Structure 1
């Protein structure tokens, strides 16, 4: 890892922008660092583009640029590389990739947001490293860049002086982690409270809907089984029961889950039940025993084990994060 920045001087954050950049990938981190200045931080943020020209984001909003990447002389404490929906063409933009390499060479820490990981990978900065990106594109990152070890569920990943984050708003999670690294947990916690966000968001990218993340099954019988589980997580969804509903053997059912869903029947059922339990904990005050029964876990202890295994927090801690502004540091961040 490169040398850590000194707290005795302003911390310089350089955000690389380009035509078609995703707006929140840029503004989320900037908001975190500038808010930290209200709590004792000394961040100075500048935007650069490969040619120094102002850019229009994917949302159609114009962004002012301070200077061209080639004009950068000062070493940056943090270099932020956002993503954009046109990343397949951006990874072929030699001028953009050269700018990334040059900024990284002068930076203490380089961090990508969302599909910005593809730009780092195309620039060769992720070779031999662990990384993450938006869950929708994690498989493509692994396929295109086999020298990168992709951690598809992480909100963000540190490997040496490189950090990569998942989709869009996870750039805020990453930036809060950098504020904590630079200025301590108290300042990062104050920034999170001021922005009304988690200092440590529960879980990883697995928090997103199981059905939206599940590939569409080719066989109608399997699709019906998946829908039945999602509609009533509390039902007895054993392998034998699901196989009977589909009119097939348990062995064939397991093979279909493996081939079409890249998971096991038990794992899918647990993820659906976990999603249902999270929804009850977020929106209501039912006792843990009631939540466990209605979501199919059966007992609070079984539910607690599933939460700890998948999200790194207990059901009680998960609920507390939706009931209070307290942001306890329990070490669960990626």
Structure 2
């Protein structure tokens, strides 16, 4: 049984999944959480195949899941042939995270942090440790940490890394800058640190991401997970 994109909802409702994990489009994943308490919702994979039940993320991921089935049943050559006719990549790297929008808090939600957030966004290549941010906001480190988490939903360190990665994605998509330069521009200490953070966040490398999303080229697709 396959539940593609929103098809994960009736699959979960049917009970055939049991206590196993499913995936659906990241935008509606929160609605599926708790629908059947014992089911785990994975909002990161492009598809999940348990052998008897398969679910996928969005529409393009449904194609990935179907190509996965062709590959599992008929072999990689058959999957490559079908993919070529569909004009899609036969196998994508990464997961849904690379497609998820990460909004910055709206001005009315940012309160007194607004100037500091704006300053940080304009200086992502600078030292943005907690002490520096707290000093810019005119607050103690302890109070800044607490209030920042209440306002943004993240710790200062995690927020800074996320913003740096957002900036990096834009540079990968719209420039031909070397990875080393992008790492420096976004405040990562080295290309290695940049790559480690990028892979941890998006389950794909900066180079693979660039091939997929750069404005001058066709973007390919990502991977799924088969469980046994």
> Normalization by structure 1: what TM-score?
0.56
Deviations 1:267-286 (A, max 9, x none): 23222222322332233321
**Residue-by-residue CA offset, 1:291-328 (whole Å, 9 max, x unaligned):** 11112213111112123323333333433456888989
Q: Give the Cα–Cα distance (whole angstroms) in 1 for the partners of residues 144 and 179 of structure 2.
A: 32
- 2:195 equivalent in structure 1: 304
The runs of 4+ residues in structure 1 deviating greater than 4 Å are: 214-217, 222-232, 256-262, 320-328
In structure 2, the CA distance between the partners of 1:130 and 1:223, relative to structure 1 (3 Å rule), is farther
Question: Hey, what does 2:136 align to over in structure 1?
Answer: 245
Structure 1 vs Structure 2 CA RMSD = 3.2
The structure with the larger Rg is 1
Where in structure 2 are the equivalents of 1:110-125 lying within 5 Å?
Answer: 110-125=1-16
For residues 96-141 of structure 1, the C-alpha deviation after alignment (integer angstroms, 9 at most, x for no partner) is: xxxxxxxxxxxxxx11122222222222223301011121222221
Does the 8 A contact of 2:164 with 2:187 survive in 1? yes
Cα distance, 1:259 vs structure 2: 4.5
The match for 2:207 is 316
Check whether the contact 1:312–1:332 (CA below 8 A) recurs between aligned residues: no
Distance 2:219 2:6 in 1: 31
Give SS of 2:90's match.
coil
From the superposition, tell whether residues 301 and 145 of structure 1 become closer, same or farther in structure 2 (CA, over 3 Å).
Answer: same
Q: Residue 37 of structure 2 aligns to a residue in which SS?
A: coil
Farther off after superposition, 203-212 or 170-179: 203-212
Q: More strand by proportion, 1 or 2? A: 1
In structure 2, stretches of 5+ residues that fail to align are none
Mapping of 1:170-189 within 5 angstroms? Answer: 170-189=61-80
For this pair of structures, how many residues does the alignment match? Answer: 222
Identify which of 32, 39, 43 aligns with 1:141. Answer: 32
Going by fraction, where is helix more abundant, 1 or 2?
A: 2
2:178 equivalent in structure 1: 287
CA distance in 2, matches of 1:218, 1:260: 7
Deviations 1:227-255 (A, max 9, x none): 55455533433222333333333333433
The answer on whether the counterparts of 2:148 and 2:155 sit within 8 Å (CA) in structure 1 is yes
Q: Partners of 1:294 and 1:327 in 2: how far apart?
A: 26
- TM-score normalized with structure 2 length: 0.78
Task: Name the counterpart of 2:169.
Answer: 278
